[in-house]
Structure 1
């Protein structure tokens, strides 16, 4: 699985015009996770929590849709990182996905980091192509849910933090 921040990861930033508390509240809400990500069973935003993702199988990518997962990091209003693996794969590989939230003027920048799926394996390349299409759509759906969510407490409001250097793309 490697480090949480791997230089070969695919990284994308998504801006939401809401405070981190509101973004976090929707990102980790198990009742709506299936509306933007994948249906889950047993998710809690607590490090060490094991849960299942129930997805559609994609046979051409050797993806069964029966996914075991574990919360690696859950730092309220800042970071959620999960590991996941296909329970029906004859040679399971553990992947990870991380969402990092950062307060910026007028909202929150969410940085999504995930493996690049580099491989000569045709099935894995198909999975990479599916993932490349999946994540922008999922993060757009997340944004719509955040827009509709009840207003969360503003917390410290008005505090600006640096998210680090801007990434291209």
Structure 2
């Protein structure tokens, strides 16, 4: 029996992207590119590296949890009482890459953050695809 009060929810966005994983990986891990689709950051693809994302509305405190180049990237995402984990999974396909992002850890009282993330990540994905498309 599970107690629904302690259940957490995840936001998942998945997309087929017509670019190889290596290109998407660059946009996910190089700070000057991350800034173009997400936020300013001092990110490094190194496990345990602490960094933050900065925007005009505030900052997100993060720590890298897992790095598997061109395959998986995972980091904590803490802001305004939300303790969550963002995991990117890149799977090569015949026409490019299946890109999946899951942000897990939204608690019962965090409906606003959850809805915001659902809207926000869709926009970020669109911007990410634009950035990747511009890479040579």
What TM bracket, shorter-length normalisation?
A: 0.7 to 0.9
TM-score by structure 2 length?
A: 0.86
Q: CA, structure 1 residues 130+84, in 2 after alignment: closer, same or farther (shift >3 Å)?
A: same
Unaligned runs of 5+ in 2: 1-7
Determine if the alignment matches structure 1 residue 97 to structure 2 residue 80.
Answer: no
TM-score between the two structures when normalised by the length of structure 1:
0.70
Q: Distance in 2 between matches of 1:143 and 1:50?
A: 26
Aligned length: 130
Distance 1:55 1:68 in 2: 12
Instruction: Give the corresponding residue for 1:115.
Output: 104
Q: In structure 1, how many angstroms separate the alpha carbons of the residues matched to 2:105 and 2:11?
A: 5
- Cα distance in structure 1, aligned partners of 2:9 and 2:78: 19
Q: Report the CA distance between 1:93 and its aligned residue.
A: 4.1
Match of 1:23 in 2: 24
Q: 1:1-169 residue pairs with structure 2 within 5 A?
A: 8-40=9-41, 42-57=42-57, 65-86=58-79, 89=80, 92-115=81-104, 117-119=106-108, 121=109, 124-150=110-136
**Quick one: distance in 2 between partners of 1:77 and 1:36?**
18
Structure 1 runs of 4+ aligned residues shifted over 4 Å read none
Instruction: Specify the structure having the higher radius of gyration (Cα).
Output: 1
